[in-house]
Structure 1
Amino acid sequence: MTVWDRPEPSNRPVPLDRERIVAAAIALADEGGLEAVSLRKVAGRLDAGPMRLYGYISTKEELFDLMVDEVQAEIVPDEQPDDGREALRALAHRTRQAALRHEWLADLLGGRPAMGPNGLAVAEATLAPLAGLADIDTVMRAVETVSAYFTGAIRREIAHLRAERATGQTKLDWQRAHGPHVTKMLATGRFPSLAKVVHDGTHVDAEASFTTGLEWVLDAVSAQLTGPPA
C-alpha cells in the first residue's frame, strides 16, 4: 500500500497531518538540501516527538516521494496545452522553474515515476495532447527523450549554482582565476578546436542555453511524432 493509499492516524495532541509534515520537510530542504531532512528534524520543526511521524510516514523515502509530489503541483500547467510540442515544452520549463525554487528537486529527478496525485496530473497533462500523434510506444519514447534532456540540463545548472555558493566565485570570477592557465595551454597549439570555442564562441546564460537545447530536442522529437512511419 502506497503512502497515498494508507489512511492517516486519528488526531492527537499537537495536531499533525501529512500536509504539515511535508511542508516542514520542504522548508528544511529549501534551506539546507536533502541532507538537512530527517524525520527527527521535521518532528523538531513541528514541536512533535519523532515517533509521532511514523504514524504518517514509514520511511524517509516515503517523505521524499511526498515532497516531490507536493512540488509537482507547481509543474501542472495552468491550462491544458493544446498540442504535443507545447505540452513537452511546458513540462521542461515548469520543471526547471520548480527546481530553481527547490534545488533539492534536481537530486530526485529521473528516479522512479511520480505516482502521487500531482505527479499523475503532470503526466496526464503531458500525454493528453500527444495521444493520436503516434503509437503509444513512440509517444513514451518522445516524453522520455525530452525528460532526459531537461533532467541533465537542470542538474548541471543546479550544480553550477551550488559550486558558486560553495566557493564564493561567480562564473566570471572562476573564468578570470583560470584564465592564465587556459591561455597558456591554448598557446601550445594542441587544442585548436577548444581555442576556437574560447575565442569565438558566444557565451549565453543558463536560461538561453536551456531553451535552445530544448528546442533542438523538440525538433527531433516532433519529427518522430508527426513524420511518416519508418
Structure 2
Amino acid sequence: MINILIVEDEVPAQKNLQRLIEEYVVDGQVVGCTGSIESTCRFLSERGGEVDLILLDIELSDGKSFEIFNRIKITARVIVTTAFDNYAIKAFKIHSVDYLLKPIEPRELVAAVELVRRDMSSDGHIDKILEILSPREYKQRFTVKIGDKIVIVDTEQIAYFYSEEKVTFLVTKQDRRYIVDFSLDMVGEMVNPRQFFRLSRGCVASVGAIKSVTKHLNGRLKVNLQPATSEEIFVSRTRTPEFMLWLES
C-alpha cells in the first residue's frame, strides 16, 4: 500500500485527484489533503511517517511549495503537479524529477506512481526539486563601456543579444548597440529564460522584441525582430517546438 498526501490549494482539484487515485491507482491510499505551506508542515510534523508519496502543487495559497522543504525534513517521494510552464517542465526533465502536468490524466498518474513504486528512495530527490523551484536571481542590468564612460542598461530595456566575429553585442529597444564582455552562451545563463530565448547560435532575444514569426523551408521558422537585425534569424526545425511552447507561455 502506498500512502499518498495530496498538497493542492484548489478544492475541486484536490477532490478530482483523490478520485483518480481511488479509481486508478492500485494499492494507492490518500491519507490526507492539504492546501497551504502551514497545513502541510503541520500534517507532516504530526503524521509524516505515514506518508510514502506526496503529490505536490507548486503554487499554494500562502506561497511557493518549495518553502515546505526549508521548514521540515521530508523522507517521502515527491511528484510535482503543475500547470503548463515550459521552463519548469524542461528543468524537471533535465534533472529527472517526477512531475504531472495539469489537468492530470489517469494514465499519466498511474505511470508516475508506478515509477515511484519501483524506487521509493528519496536520496537527492528533494535537492533536485529545490534547485528547480527555489527562486533564482537573474541579471537585472548590464554595464557596458563607451570609451572611459560606463553605461548601465536594465535588462528590461534589452531587445536582444547577437554575436558577430566572436564579439557579443547588446541591442536595446531604442536600437542602441553596445559590446558586452560575455559570450552568448554566458548571456543565455544570465538572463531569465522566461523572458529570453536562444533563437539561433548567434542570437538571444527577448519575447518583447519578436515582431513576427513566419514558416520557412525545411520546418524552420523565420523570426523578425524589432529593432531589425542586419541578418535574417531562423529557428531550426529541431528547436521549433520548444520555441513555440516558450512563445505561447
TM-score, normalised relative to structure 1: 0.24
Between Structure 1 and Structure 2, the one with more helix by share is: 1
Where is the strand percentage greater, Structure 1 or Structure 2? 2
- Higher RCO, 1 or 2 (CA under 8 Å, sep at least 6)? 1
Q: TM-score, normalised by structure 2?
A: 0.23
